[in-house]
Structure 1
Amino acid sequence: MTRSLAALALLGLATGAAHAQSSVTLYGSLDGGLRNLVNGTKGGGAALTMASNGTYNSNRWGFEGKEDLGGGYYARFNLEAGYVLSTGANNNTSNQIFQRTSTVGLGGPFGQVDIGHQFTLQHFLVKDFEPFDFHYLGITESTAISGGVTGRDDNAINYRGIFGPWVIRGTYALGGVPGSAAHGSTFAGGFNYRAALVKLGAGYTHKSNPLSATSSAYFGDDQYTAGGTLSLGPVDAMVGYSLNIQDTPASAKSQTRNQYLWGGLRYQATPFFNVTAAYYDNKNKTAAVDGRKDVAILGIVYLLSKRTELYADIDYTKFTGGYVTNSTLNPSGHSKQTGVSFGMNHWF
């Protein structure tokens, strides 16, 4: 009887272990490329650089883990950091070790919920109709479209549910300010529709931006986005639109309007070679000062293997209005710039 009970206990432990299957994956990307930008300096000369965080793809490394909880449910986590390939330094100016992603979550038949520092809802939404799939981030307008400088939310709760061809999305990011649930917070909702020939997406994001670091007042920041992709054999045609309306402090009694339009074609010529062409237009209006940035870019990628690819691009950027003298958006101060990039990217 004792031996039978012991055997049953061992069988129960083995069954529990079988349900708790888990895995941890180390992954990353290394991008080594050069870029030459005509009119890239204030003196009008060309600027030859090696991008600090990758030209074609962002340099990163991270851990991703998943544990099977049984019944179709699972727990997961993701930690991801950036680095500078040319020097080996951390890409960590904000004193965040895992400044790219830091989440823990739970998934199952209901969908998936992730909590922590993560990409904005805009990022996931736009990915279905972004011509370069968030490559060449230092050249295109993808970063601005997907959520500003970092394209990520702190203190975020992100939901994604896949139901047939529909993907339902929702995000709530806490502001972290005592005594106010709204101050500094973000909430967003959207959807993607995915079929063989067409992909569609639309979403809305609202942020309650602090008036200042010490003020309890805040003002609105709204973004509306929609777009789609039409797939015809080896060719994908993409188009998108996004409008960001941000209130300025009450004393200014005005708004900042950033309108983004983009479109592109992606041609998969062979399983190893593709060509992408895209055009991005950003029109800004702030306190009666207009500015505009237009980017045209043509890029090619050749796969040496499943993990190693060669890339090259040629691009043209034109600034007009207030953008010509904007030192943040246009450090060189020249209205027209032409760039050429080439390099290698490896995944592990």
Structure 2
Amino acid sequence: MKNKVNGDFPATVRKVSMSKVSVLALLGLCTGAAHAQSSVTMYGSLDGGLRNVVNGTPAGGAALTMASNGVYDQNRWGFRGVEDLGGGLKAVFNLEAGFVLSQGTLDNTNNTLFQRRSTVGLEGPFGRVDLGRMFAMQHYLIKDFEPFDFKFLSITEASGVTNGNSSGRDPNAINYTGAFGPTVFRAEYALGGVAGSVDDGSTRAVGFNYRTHTVKFGFGYTHKSKQIVAGTGPFLGDNEYTAGGAYTLGPVTALGGWSLNLQNTATAVTGSTKNQYLWGGLRYQITPFIQVIGAYYDNKNITAGVHGRKDVSIVGVTYALSKKTLLYADFDYTKYRGGEITNITLNPSTHASQTGISFGMNHLF
């Protein structure tokens, strides 16, 4: 052949081949860039341990259980996704399910898969808006000053303060979060879904957090229109006022908060059911691996004119085996007074006091 280049291929063929390679390489780079703009992350928590409670049953004695729903942290798995839409705008979603570790089953009786969270939303310079089922605004508000950061949730009173419609969560919710420097603005509106009424069953909430490395504080207000007994009776006002803060000095952080919940009742004589929560605690990061937290929770309750009180003292210790795996233990004492002693819903054992101890292992992925 007369027009060989380097004794291999014709020059025209070589030029065409190199052009094709360049186009394919460019397409490959574009495809990679497009793929990098979207991501889905799977995550979860596996928590298994044992818990022993003295006076844990009506018959007395100790109740030893495998805390397969998670004493330290709740067992869950989920997906988080984000897509970069350009111009600083992102589409986001989150699906999260809970399970019973020892059984491998869902941790709810109505066979709902993503009962912990199912949301889709937009995030941008304006903040973030999520729609779906999610934690109530109160949950995010008090996270900055809840001593255990919602760990040992079945023992502390933190779940009561969140005031969600179901396990601290609100369905049919629209949640706004705007973080601008150290300030965070929050707002929630959850649809009631009651025919003929915009207000019945709905939730409205606003909150504010201020955050620095040393100081954190926040306050918020939530109004719900709900029934005292779900599915029965009129919808009545439920109002909650919350405030709290935290201060960090070296390895020690002091945290505390206050919350007042007033649930209107249909009986004019009693006026409302009142729950006042006070809590405080200390976190001490002894070493990079060992953390000790001590906290006290006080709940004063007035229901139908009957006064009751529940006090919880708890000390928890964690030892980090790695960034994802830790061992934990706690010792706690709960004291009931007045109407709280015989309130089967709040105190199934009906004993005036309980002493608990638990230990186990938690792994995050």
CA 1:51–1:252 in 2, change beyond 3 Å: closer, same or farther? farther
2:57 match: 41
Aligned residues: 344
2:156 match: 140
Other structure's SS at 1:123 match: helix
1:273 match: 290
Give the Cα separation in 2 of the matches to 1:213 and 1:147: 15
CA 1:211–1:322 in 2, change beyond 3 Å: closer, same or farther? closer
Runs of 4+ in structure 1 over 6 Å off? 10-14, 211-216
| Deviation for aligned residue 1:196 | 2.0
Other structure's SS at 2:106 match: coil
2:4 match: none
TM-score (norm 2): 0.89
Other structure's SS at 1:83 match: strand
TM-score (norm 1): 0.93
Residue segments in structure 2 that go unaligned for 5+ positions in a row: 1-15
Instruction: Find out whether 1:71 has 2:71 as its counterpart.
Output: no
| Deviation for aligned residue 1:147 | 1.7
1:1-348 pair list within 5 angstroms: 18=33, 21-148=37-164, 150-210=167-227, 217-250=234-267, 254-348=271-365
| Deviation for aligned residue 1:178 | 2.0
Give the Cα separation in 2 of the matches to 1:15 and 1:336: 65
CA 1:258–1:74 in 2, change beyond 3 Å: closer, same or farther? same
| Deviation for aligned residue 1:65 | 0.7
Give the Cα separation in 2 of the matches to 1:191 and 1:27: 28
Give the Cα separation in 2 of the matches to 1:210 and 1:286: 15
Q: Which moved more, 1:326-335 or 1:263-272?
A: 326-335
Give the Cα separation in 1 of the matches to 2:60 and 2:243: 38
CA 1:254–1:216 in 2, change beyond 3 Å: closer, same or farther? closer
Flag the structure with larger Rg: 2
Native 8 Å contact 1:19 1:70 kept in 2: no
Give the Cα separation in 2 of the matches to 1:213 and 1:144: 17
Which letter maps to 2:344?
S
Q: CA RMSD in A?
A: 2.2
Give the Cα separation in 2 of the matches to 1:243 and 1:312: 31
Native 8 Å contact 1:183 1:216 kept in 2: no
Which letter maps to 1:54?
G
Give the Cα separation in 2 of the matches to 1:35 and 1:215: 36
CA 1:17–1:157 in 2, change beyond 3 Å: closer, same or farther? farther
Deviations 1:3-46 (A, max 9, x none): 99xx99x9799769736711111111110110010111212201
Identity of aligned residues (%): 63
CA 1:329–1:212 in 2, change beyond 3 Å: closer, same or farther? closer
CA 1:213–1:176 in 2, change beyond 3 Å: closer, same or farther? same
CA 1:318–1:253 in 2, change beyond 3 Å: closer, same or farther? closer
Which letter maps to 1:260?
Y
Give the Cα separation in 1 of the matches to 2:352 and 2:270: 30
